[in-house]
Amino acid sequence: MIIEQITTLDFSEGLKKTQTVIVPLGAIEEHGPHLPMNTDILHAYEIAKKAAEKLTVFVAPPINFGVCRSTADFPGTITIRSSTLVAIVLDVVEALYNPGIRNFILYSGHAGMNHVAAMLDAADQIMKRYDDAKFSVITDLELTDAEFFKLVETPADSHAGEIETSLILSLAPELVGELPEPDFPKFPKPLLVKDTRKYWKSGVWGDPKKASKEKGDKMVNILVKNLIGLVEEISR
Ligand SMILES: [Zn+2]
Mutual angle of helices 39-54 and 213-235, in 10-degree steps:
60
Superfamily of domain 3-152+222-235: Creatininase (3.40.50.10310)
Report the C-alpha gap between 3 and 7 in whole angstroms.
8
Kindly list the protein residues that place their beta carbon closer than 5 angstroms to ligand 1, a single-atom ion. 39-40
What pLDDT is attached to residue 195? 85
Distance from Cα 101 to the centre of ligand 1, integer Å: 29
Distance from Cα 171 to the centre of ligand 1, integer Å: 14
Distance from Cα 2 to the centre of ligand 1, integer Å: 23
Distance from Cα 8 to the centre of ligand 1, integer Å: 33
Distance from Cα 109 to the centre of ligand 1, integer Å: 6
Distance from Cα 204 to the centre of ligand 1, integer Å: 10
Mind listing the pLDDT tens digit of every residue in the chain (236 residues)? 999 999 999 999 999 999 999 999 999 999 999 999 999 999 999 999 999 999 999 999 999 999 999 899 999 999 999 999 999 999 999 999 999 999 999 999 999 999 999 999 999 999 999 999 999 999 999 999 999 999 999 999 999 999 999 999 999 999 999 999 999 999 888 888 888 888 888 999 999 999 999 999 999 999 999 999 999 999 99
Distance from Cα 170 to the centre of ligand 1, integer Å: 15
